[in-house]
Chain A
């Protein structure tokens, strides 16, 4: 029997849900509002909410004084590049772990995941030195590699979970039908795992787009993505909250829009396999 929920309880739940949603959304809303204020209005105390002189001058100035499009292009190349490279490595890895597991497969998966628990700063010096040696500092390829490695455990884990849901007999049928390993993966496994792969790609792009520690540390200008672009506005000469907000809005807007349109796919992908 379905659990009965009273009307009062439903209203209470709805109010709570809206409260939590607004709490999470508030910083973004505040950032958007501030980006349309003048610098004076932005630092007023008590703050003004909606009744100020709305202006787009912050956006104009940010666009005129910095190379937004360079950073934007870098962000896209780094996020998409690291995702594609990650998939190229993770698909065969997840395939072997899901369909031809060895005695240590589970341990290896746990070990891969445990690297995500290590603070990035712990390996900053060695990675920085390697980057200097290999001439990768402030290069897009360098960031693509680092972000791919950082997110690889998550990609492998997600793909592994989706692949485990695919009946092994279907792949065996493909083998009996004359498919080589490559054909088996391309024509049978990947099309069947499309929902899972799509959500893995989306999540990885979001993670790579938002990654700030490595992108700020390992870049100067040429390869700097939007995270670096934002950080340039928190300058020691004085804080320009309105311009910082405008820069932030421009940095997060693309990923926010992408996330909004793909939320169904993301949720479906992230809960895939949770209920059989």
Chain B
């Protein structure tokens, strides 16, 4: 249960094409993350799978059955929204029980499933509270609880952590990953945060302007980005992209080198530059080096203890085995 395929799925709003014909296959039990910049169509794609938007063309199948015209309630999917979308007039218990009530389950069955979900999500002490009396993290747990009691074919998450503070976001990220490990249910997760994508996904789908730029495991995307968009989007800090004569030396229009694959030395190296802003994170230091003559300033990931300051002259040396080459269309050269 939980295999989803999209076959030439298209979405148009009036004359504007938001999702051009798109094919995608999501295997049973996979954790798939849709990632891309704002407005790239990732949420629209999720809503098309959910049935909250009608497809303009193409076919969506869930577990081999055509679900294109099936209403959201009948698709057997559960969704967690960015705003949590809890029912404010119902207690936590009633919120979680709502899908079961709609499915016509007996009160005893409802209680059993709701209590089990509450125990998994540490919500047992808050069952009689209303959503307004809960913290952001607790609300998010209620939203997840409401989704898991349905025992859906797949979970759909629409930027579920974006309203939480940084610390809570990390915790919830782990909780969702653990939930996926224990439930083994297909999960589709939309985010614009590539750290979430890299840490949680089995498979990442990188979207740009409605198009799928690349599909692959986090490490595949990191090691072999298919084009300059994916190269620039996946990885933090982002990859340094260099054009011009330096790229031509490598028979490419653009070359890319990740900040962690650049060696930095105060005395010798391939490219000479000047240290600009440096960000000390403790474990690492991110240096912005300008004046290399390679176009934009370069980002370097250096050791946390590095003793370099604003205005210092440094030399950068790329690890040639980790260099990425792209042609005039921005596509990877093997």
B102 interface residue per 8 A CB criterion: yes
B50: CB under 8 A from chain A?
yes
B21: interface (CB < 8 Å): no
A192 with B89: CB separation less than 8 A: yes
Give A63 to B78 CA distance when docked, in angstroms: 64
Residues of chain A contacted by B69 (CB below 8 angstroms)? none
Give Cα A172 to B52, complex, Å: 7
Interface extent on A, as a size class? Answer: 10 to 19
Chain A minimum-CB-distance residue to B102? A178
Instruction: Please report the C-alpha to C-alpha distance between residue A130 and residue B238 in the assembled complex, in whole angstroms.
Output: 75
From A167, A179, A187, B85 is in contact (CB under 8 Å) with A167
B85 near A183 (CB under 8 angstroms)?
no
B81 touches A173 (CB 8 A): yes
A residues 134-193 in Cβ contact with B at 8 Å: 167, 169-170, 172-180, 183, 187-188, 191-192
Minimum C-beta distance from A68 to chain B (A):
41
Residues B98 and A176 in contact, CB atoms below 8 Å apart = no
Contact with B along A186-223 (1 / 0, CB 8 A): 01100110100000000000000000000000000000
Interface residues on B, range: 20 to 34
0/1 interface trace, chain B 80-92, chain A, CB 8 Å (1 if under): 0111011111000
A183-B102, A192-B88 in contact; A176/B83 too (CB < 8 A)? no
Contact yes or no, B77 A176, CB < 8 A: yes
Residues from chain B with Cβ under 8 Å of A178 in the complex? 73, 99, 102-103, 150
Chain B residues with Cβ under 8 A from A170's Cβ? 85-88
State how many angstroms separate the Cβ of B190 from the closest Cβ of chain A: 14
Chain A residues contacting B88 (CB-CB under 8 Å) are 170, 192
Residue of B73, B81, B103 with most chain A CB atoms under a 10 A cut-off: B73
- Considering the complex, give the chain B residue whose CB is closest to the CB of A167: B83
Closest 9 CB pairs of A and B: A173-B85, A178-B102, A177-B99, A169-B85, A178-B73, A176-B79, A191-B89, A175-B72, A170-B85
Interface residues of B, Cβ cutoff 8 Å to A: 50, 52, 71-73, 77-79, 81-83, 85-89, 98-99, 102-103, 146, 150
